[in-house]
Amino acid sequence: MHNQDHDLNALRHTTAHVLAQAVKRLYPSVKLAIGPAIADGFYYDFDTDKPFTPEDVAAIEKEMKKIIKENLPLEAFSHDGAGALAYVDEQGEPYKRELIEDLLNPADPAKTPAVDFSFYKQGEFVDLCAGPHLDKTGRIKAFRLTSTAGAYWRGDEKRPMLSRIYGTAFFTKEELAAHLERIEEAKKRDHRKLGREMKLFAFMEDAPGMPFYLPKGLILKNRLVEYWRKVHRKYNYQEIQTPQIMMSKLWDRSGHTDYYMDGMFSSVIDDTTYFVKPMNCPGGMLAYNSELHSYKEFPLRVAELGLIHRNELSGALHGLMRLRQFTQDDAHIYMMESQLKDEIKAVIRLYEDMYAAFGLEDFSFELSTRPEKSIGSDEGWEKATTALREALEEMNRPYVINEGDGAFYGPKIDFQIRDSLGRSWQCGTIQCDMQLPERFDLTYIGPDSAKHRPVMIHRTCFGSLDRFLGVLTEHCAGWFPFWLTPVQTVIIPISERHHEAARKVLEQLEAAGIRAELDDRSEKMGFKIREAQLQKIPRMLVLGDKEVEENKVSLRSRENGDEGARDLATLIEKWKKESDF
């Protein structure tokens, strides 16, 4: 049974408690916050006078092993609200008190739920917790503390900064070793590290959460955009561009100020409040309404590569994965209700085509239903949810239900992509919407010459182009597909007398559209080759006396190593075909 998800969750949750117990033994003045099990392990947040050092973590891990060896039983007990508050006060744990108070809602006693609060005890240590847990600490056989970080209490940058310790646990040492190996590989593939080494992008303290694309990085991003445009032309999309800032009344009308206000940047111009767009949707609605439409145009597919801004908490920012400024590859598709299911299927096919070009063919689907805070009628939500579900089922695409995680205006399908390290990333999404067409009074002329209300799909394939580049960088370990990579080949002359011939090779490659560089530095050839490998350049052309005399180049490729002398014209024709997408 140990390989089942709920058992693994119990193991990791128990190990988090062992971590907290070890910290309290070594540092009794530390206050406890929260310590949940997460996808790859667990963490615990502590309020400390100073962050934990590597030496502290080593001591904590040693103490945890002692606690495990003690084989302490975990015993559950509970208190009512008043008793729970008294208990955590006696322990001197203010963060636990806040968690209890939030559930009790003492500001409005009439709404106070009649609940008991569960606690788990192991030896001298007690923690407020709903479980699940193992029965004894001795059942923990393989664990490791993996890293530390700072984390604001409850993710709020206005609240105290806590010290977080991450760890992981498995039922066998073999499983733990395999996981730790994946962690080390992930560190090597970290897109922030590779982005610096490959000179793709940078982050500056003057613009937190907003990437600076360097020349090679912009080649990469522009190449991705070229591919995106080609596929969207194939699927009959039109492309538009809408303003980045628009009046607050527009966002009132769309509902964003009610549901997304904290994530929006604002400015006042001529005594009028404007919002920087966090999404492209309202601008898309205005673009649709700029002219009269007929059912004969449907489905009308309108795409936008919109630069958007979201006021993310500084503590949540993470390289290209979590930004305040990014490009969203949005699209809005307008149609009759009878066309909805077929159009959902068409979008799924488009996504699968696009992901395959990057070697991303292992993905799953999540169907997210109506959240508690939402707009629209039950009937509209039911129709939209049914269309999404039936499209997946008729295409034989397995899916899981994610209850209550839909957008505030409609249900959605999320694509969860699994990368080469087995990690899951949410990229593409398909959202059905019968609410915004109503709010913006969208109409079309039907076969009966009368006005009707369209239904629509919001969809993003990459989601954020920037985030997708981060995911792709880590998936490929920086070795992008040949057609996408910023520098496809580097020319390496062995000595200065080969520079002229090397420049002529460069001219021929550039004339053919091959992205090439010349490394004519006064360095040894071995050094230049290692540099090219670090830059993840997939092809190298070496020129020495023999190559110049025979009018050839010596090819070194990532796939095959030293491939010997080759005819340049033949290579150019081959690479031109490989550069097509």
Active site residues: 281, 310, 328, 330, 332, 412, 458
Largest CA distance in the chain: 93
- Work out the angle at residue 453's Cα, subtended by the Cα atoms of residues 447 and 454, and round it to the nearest 5 degrees: 85
Distance from C-alpha of 564 to C-alpha of 522, rounded to nearest angstrom: 23
Contacts of 122 (CB under 8 A, 6+ apart): 17, 18, 21, 67, 72, 73, 74, 75, 137
CA distance 431 to 338: 16
Scored b (16 or more CB within 10 A) or e, 540-549 reads bbbbbeebbe
Q: Is 188 left (phi over 0), alpha (psi -120 to 50) or beta?
A: alpha
Q: Which of 259, 274, 286 is nearest to 439 (CA)?
A: 286
Q: Hey, is 289 helix, strand or coil?
A: coil
Owner of token pair 């509902």: 255
Taking alpha carbons only, the member of 376, 413, 378 closest to residue 397 is 413
The b-or-e profile of 371-396 (16+ CB within 10 A means b, else e) is eeebbbeeebbebbbebbbebbeeee
CA–CA gap between residue 36 and residue 13 (Å, rounded): 6
Distance of alpha carbon 573 from alpha carbon 555, whole angstroms: 15
Q: How far does CA 339 lie from the centroid of its chain?
A: 31
The three-class DSSP label of residue 29 is: coil
Q: Is the peptide bond before 132 cis (omega within 30 degrees of 0)?
A: yes
Q: Sign of dihedral through CA atoms 548, 549, 555, 561? A: negative
| Cis previous bond, 299, omega within 30 | yes
Torsion angle in degrees (nearest 10) through CA of 221, 226, 229, 235 = -120
User: Quick one: DSSP state of residue 212?
Assistant: E
Q: State how far Cα 477 lies from the chain centre.
A: 16
Phi/psi for 207 (5° steps) reads -145, 70
